Structure 1
Amino acid sequence: MATSMTPRKGSGGRRTRRHSRHPAAMSEINVTPMVDVMLVLLIIFMVAAPLLTVGVPVELPETAASALPTEQEEPLTITVTADGALVLQTTETPEDELIPRLRAVMAERTDDKIYLRADGAIPYERVVQVMGALNGAGFRKIGLVTETGGPTLGGPGN
């Protein structure tokens, strides 16, 4: 709060405080608390962001295919684990309940893509069975999730 200190006439040059009715407006903003809050939020989001991805551990096979463009919605993923179990997003789902649950989830979404993640150690037959069941249920946009940077068919020169 600012006060005015001016010499009064007849006071021998002494300065006295004169109280005004309206205190002068403070022209500085203290941004330190705002910066502190922003730094804390930044740290929280940096720690939480990797946890927002689907957390089913699988060893994806590597291919030379490029990544698909990113979407606005969180991708809908079905994961086939190393022991052959099916996981819808992060919830393990029995085979007979997969299609009804998937239909319920897809009714609330605008994007109809499904990403199929499968552990590289499981037989190809299991992946094809899941893809066939999805296709038979009417889901046509199925993408296979792999790791990039794998071998190409033509070898290293192609």
Structure 2
Amino acid sequence: MGADLRKRGGGRKGKYAPMSQINVTPFVDVMLVLLIIFMVTAPLLSTGVKVDLPQTSAKPLSAEDKPLSVSLRGDGRVFLQDTEVQVETLVERLRAIGDVSKETRIFVRADENLSYGKVMGVMGMINGAGFNKVALVTQPTKGGKGK
């Protein structure tokens, strides 16, 4: 019997041998909580400016780098990413962004109820400032056909 105690506890009476197995249950619990948190917060991280985009059957563009987004709302307000800007200061705000080069892709999102002239005026300002990769963003039509 004394040999058995020495194997398990090293001869210490009333003490247990150290456990050499890893308890994975707390790790799994933490991972499940983090998964739930990320599932709840992920939809909230999308672009916050609501714009009714026109629908088209064009194929989506592939984006290699992160584009800038200029949004034109139906009430005439203009947003650069999620920040509201004045139309007159849009070009200088684009230039002020540090990592923007003339080759940066700029997506223009415009409400479908805006006049063609207003949308083309903003696109012309951006293009006139030397930004060559300016594209309009639309929504795909339901069913794949035009309106």
TM range (shorter): 0.7 to 0.9
Larger radius of gyration: 1
- Whether 1:124 aligns to 2:124 is no
Normalized per residue, which structure has more helix? 2
Residue in structure 2 matched with residue 108 of structure 1 by the alignment? 99
Q: CA–CA distance in 2 between the matches of 1:70 and 1:40?
A: 33
Normalized per residue, which structure has more strand? 1
Percent identity over the alignment is: 48
Q: CA–CA distance in 2 between the matches of 1:58 and 1:66?
A: 20
Q: Which sections of structure 2, spanning at least 5 residues, go unmatched? A: none
Asked if 2 retains the 8 angstrom alpha-carbon contact of 1:62 and 1:151, the reply is no
Q: How far off its partner does 1:26 sit?
A: 2.7
Q: CA–CA distance in 1 between the matches of 2:145 and 2:125?
A: 29
Deviations 1:55-79 (A, max 9, x none): 1011111000111224453x31000
Asked if 1 retains the 8 angstrom alpha-carbon contact of 2:73 and 2:110, the reply is yes
TM norm structure 1: 0.75
Count of residue pairs the alignment pairs up: 138
Q: How far off its partner does 1:93 sit?
A: 0.1
**RMSD of aligned alpha carbons:** 2.6
SS at 1:49's partner residue? helix
Q: Which sections of structure 1, spanning at least 5 residues, go unmatched? A: 1-6, 10-14, 154-158
Moved over 6 A (4+): none
TM norm structure 2: 0.81
SS at 2:126's partner residue? helix
